[in-house]
Amino acid sequence: MKKNWKYAWGSAAFRVHFILTILFGILLAAFADHFFQFIQARPGHLIGDAVLDWIPPYDMSVYIFALLYVGVILAVGTAIINEPEVLLTGMQAYILLSLMRMATLYFIPLEPHPGLVLLEDPFVGYLIYKENIITKDLFFSGHVSAMFLLYLTATGRNLRIFLAADTVLVAICMLFQHAHYTVDIVAAPFFALLSCYLAGRRTITTQTAALRNEP
């Protein structure tokens, strides 16, 4: 762990990107609360969804967040211990993904499906969601896209297989929760792919700069 971080931190390009990414992530998190309150307050449009009309609604909150937290802990923990560059790329990809999601939420206002079962975090929800629960953050699914992003950025065959299965299970649970339209879930991996590709371009540039600076 120390050797990997020592090597990565020895690159000026890595240090600059890492610090700026942390700072931008903090600013984005501070802005996100106000943005989602705005999204929740404005009217949206209902859309037809034959899949949700066919699937009976169930509260899958415990399963969704259990799958999410296990995937995040394994993927991020592995990156922190062994792969600082993967960690940085993943953080930057997630920021890009969040910006894309804010853009789609702003330009595509939707109302939740009538069969919606409120998605509540049973583990730390009482610390985060004090009053208002957001239900209009629909297109596209943040949970599914985040899980797929973890799969894309992970290394190691076993971890990637686990995260792929984890992503599929989260997507299925979200359908039963009726927390997202089917199109929200289907579109999520494509946005994750795009954000990962853009962040990966930064990785190539940074690694090239590091090689040029090596004695």
Q: Is the pLDDT of residue 135 over 50?
A: yes
CA pair distance 147, 145, nearest whole angstrom: 5
Amino acid type, 67:
L
Res 6: pLDDT: 86
Burial class (CB in 10 A: 0-12, 13-18, 19+), 90: buried
Parent domain of 150? 2-213
Q: Is the pLDDT of residue 203 over 80?
A: no
Res 177: pLDDT: 98
Q: Is the pLDDT of residue 205 over 90?
A: no
| Mean predicted confidence (pLDDT) in 178-203 | 93
DSSP state of 10: T
* Tokens found for residue 192: 């994750």
* Tokens found for residue 214: 């090596």
- Say what percent of the chain tops pLDDT 70: 89
> How many alpha carbons fall within 13 Å on the CB side of residue 67?
23
Phi first, then psi, for residue 91 (nearest 5°) are -65, -45
Domain count, the chain: 1
Q: In Å, how far are 5, 151, 176 from 114, measured between CA atoms?
A: 49, 32, 13
Contact indicator for 16, 88 with CB cutoff of 8 Å:
no
Q: Is the pLDDT of residue 213 over 80?
A: no
